[in-house]
Structure 1
Amino acid sequence: MTSKNRLYTGAALGLVAAATLGFGAARLTQPSTPTTVEAPATNAATPRKPALSSQVVAIDERGITASQIEVAPAGAGALDAAIPASANVESTPDAEAVLTARAPGTVTRIFKRIGDPVRQGDTLALVESRDASQIAADRSAAAARVTLANRQTARERSLVSQGVSARADLETAQASLAVAQADARRASAAAGAVRLSSDGRSIAVVSPVSGRVTAAPANLGQYVAAETELFRVADPRRLQITASLPPADAPRVRAGDRVELTTSDGRKIEGRVRSATGVVDPESRAATVIVTPTAGGTTLVPGQLVQARIFASGGVAKTGVTVPQDAVQTIGAQTVVFVRTNVGFRAQPVQAGERSGGMVAITSGLTAGTRIATTNAFLLKAEVEKESAE
């Protein structure tokens, strides 16, 4: 072999060796395929953690039992016609009084202030008035005329019995007595209407109801005109709730229907429909229903706003699919229920309608008889939201 041939042979062997080394290096630099290791068997006492894909929760029967998730078919039937309404707490008409000055004058005495307890017939203030003096004088004059007429009548009766006076004179005296007595009754009624005090120059501001003073704009030494408001008294125990309903729902409400009242802090108070006006207010375009609290009403105060749910007995809502309220969950902007599948649950978007007595009417997205998660369905919602956050 010539030197030239030996050179060609050595170059060829070098190229083969280089190619072999390059392929081996490429094999070594490729990502290794992970070895599949079979997970150990799950302990029967410990439920398998749900696996999620999009809005699907994979969970076996042991996990459902351990999580206390109940599964039940969606029901079909009528939903109670619970009518939602905004309501205002008020004192009953006979439990609140506005006290005014019955005549113009000056406030000379004040006996009660805001928050003080008041009994029916208590005097809250005195107003000194010229009208009071005039009324007192008229009453005294009328009483004097009655006394004089009584004496004249007695004298004429005695003279008639003696045959000295004519019968006509006695009848004239009796007529004068009747007129005097009528004037006296008028003067007494006027004194009573203005609450004339015993001193004959002041008018008493008297409460016609028991309760507490809720407003007292009167000031000592203030001159007030007739019918000026001086006090406001209300009994906080005697309340009524005025609810405003849509005109379409008002005909379904009957006296005695159950009402559930909810305060701003979430407290529930039971009540009953006392009456309904049966007409629509021309300004608010709503019908008024009067509700009387039957339990827990002592926690309400006049002027408080509450939300009412009236369970109308005069009609029911349309039939459809109904599910427990706990089954309806919200994920993002969607309202969903969790439908039972072979591997777990699937979040099914639905359209929720009216709510009543712990049940929700489903207007679309679900058929009656579909098995869904009811109790503790919020656990499935939490798993979906956790997966989305990760």
Structure 2
Amino acid sequence: MVVAAPEPPSPPGQTFHVDRVPDQARQRIRIEEVKERLTPHSVSAPGNVALDLAHVAKVSSLIPGQVNQIMVQLGNRVQKDQPLAAVESMRLDELVQEYLVAKSKLDVANSNFTRTKQLQAENIISQRRFLEDRGQQIEAQAIYQHVREKLLNMGLSEQELHQLEHGSHLEGHKYLLRAPLSGTVVSQQIVLGQGVAAGDELFEIVDTSRVWVFANLPIEQARRFQEGDEGQIL
């Protein structure tokens, strides 16, 4: 829109010519109430982007073994608890055997204590015998639960443990490495068939949905900003 300064009064009898504003231009004219508002401004400054360490995870093997399967590749987007790789391990097989032995001992301890409670209620056995059998049951339960938690942490499912307890011994148990958070695989340190030791770092996963941006502003520019101000990084 062009605004012209008023011209001096014209002599009497002089005619004027008024140009009509085209309809296309008229449609672009807006009339608004005058209001006070903040005017966005931009600044340019050197800076850097840093990862939020609360959204970075390194994935390591808990047991020694050999990489049997790799489910993801560098750059893949993964979800929390998604399997990343499978490791075959003799240690895992040993834990399965420990689990079966612990389950067997717990069954015996439960059976003994059930019978002991019946005898104690009939005053056939002493309180000391009752407490001894109760202690054996508690100990057997603790050992069983400890080994069970280890197997669950290594990727075996509740269904697989249930099958083991009922005589279905699955061969070739695998330790599954799972993503501890959702994000992108930015580092992969293994290949198929590679041997790994307990504690070896195999993957790094980063969630880049939240990062830190640090800008170095001169004091004059920094004074324009207050805590809580929102902005957009271009």
Asked if Structure 1 and Structure 2 have the same fold, meaning a TM-score greater than 0.5 normalized by the shorter chain, the answer is: yes
Decide whether the 8 Å contact of 1:130 with 1:201 is kept in 2: no
- Whole-Å separation in 2 of the counterparts to 1:259 and 1:191: 57
1:129 counterpart residue number: 89
Distance 1:162 1:219, change over 3 A: same
Counterparts of 1:190-339 in structure 2, within 5 Å, are 190-196=150-156, 198=160, 201-241=173-213, 295-296=231-232
The secondary structure found in structure 2 opposite 1:121 is coil
Counterparts of 1:93-172 in structure 2, within 5 Å, are 93-172=53-132
**Amino acid paired to 2:81:** G
Q: Which has the higher contact order (CA 8 A, sep 6+)?
A: 2
Output one character per residue of 1:247-281: Cα deviation in whole Å (capped at 9) or x when no partner.
xx9xx9xxxxx799xxxxxxxxx9969xxxxxxxx
Distance 1:118 1:272, change over 3 A: farther
User: TM-score, structure 2 length as denominator?
Assistant: 0.64
Distance 1:244 1:97, change over 3 A: farther
- Whole-Å separation in 2 of the counterparts to 1:111 and 1:237: 23
**Amino acid paired to 2:136:** S
- Whole-Å separation in 2 of the counterparts to 1:271 and 1:110: 48
1:350 counterpart residue number: none
Decide whether the 8 Å contact of 1:259 with 1:272 is kept in 2: no
Residue segments in structure 2 that go unaligned for 5+ positions in a row: 1-43, 161-169
Output one character per residue of 1:92-124: Cα deviation in whole Å (capped at 9) or x when no partner.
222111111221111111111122221111111
Q: How many matched pairs?
A: 177
- Whole-Å separation in 1 of the counterparts to 2:215 and 2:195: 40
Pick from 123, 137, 146: which aligns with 1:177?
A: 137
**Amino acid paired to 2:185:** V
The secondary structure found in structure 2 opposite 1:94 is helix
- Whole-Å separation in 1 of the counterparts to 2:92 and 2:85: 15
- Whole-Å separation in 2 of the counterparts to 1:225 and 1:209: 23
C-alpha RMSD of the superposition: 3.4
Decide whether the 8 Å contact of 1:271 with 1:295 is kept in 2: no
**Amino acid paired to 2:144:** A
* CA apart distance, 1:221: 1.0
Decide whether the 8 Å contact of 1:132 with 1:196 is kept in 2: no
1:342 counterpart residue number: none
- Whole-Å separation in 1 of the counterparts to 2:97 and 2:45: 57
* CA apart distance, 1:196: 4.7
1:265 counterpart residue number: none
Distance 1:295 1:150, change over 3 A: farther
- Whole-Å separation in 1 of the counterparts to 2:134 and 2:76: 52
Residue segments in structure 1 that go unaligned for 5+ positions in a row: 1-83, 253-257, 261-269, 274-292, 300-390
- Whole-Å separation in 1 of the counterparts to 2:227 and 2:99: 50
User: TM-score, structure 1 length as denominator?
Assistant: 0.40
Distance 1:216 1:173, change over 3 A: same
1:303 counterpart residue number: none
**Amino acid paired to 1:112:** V
- Whole-Å separation in 2 of the counterparts to 1:205 and 1:113: 14
**Amino acid paired to 1:128:** E
Aligned-pair identity in percent equals 24
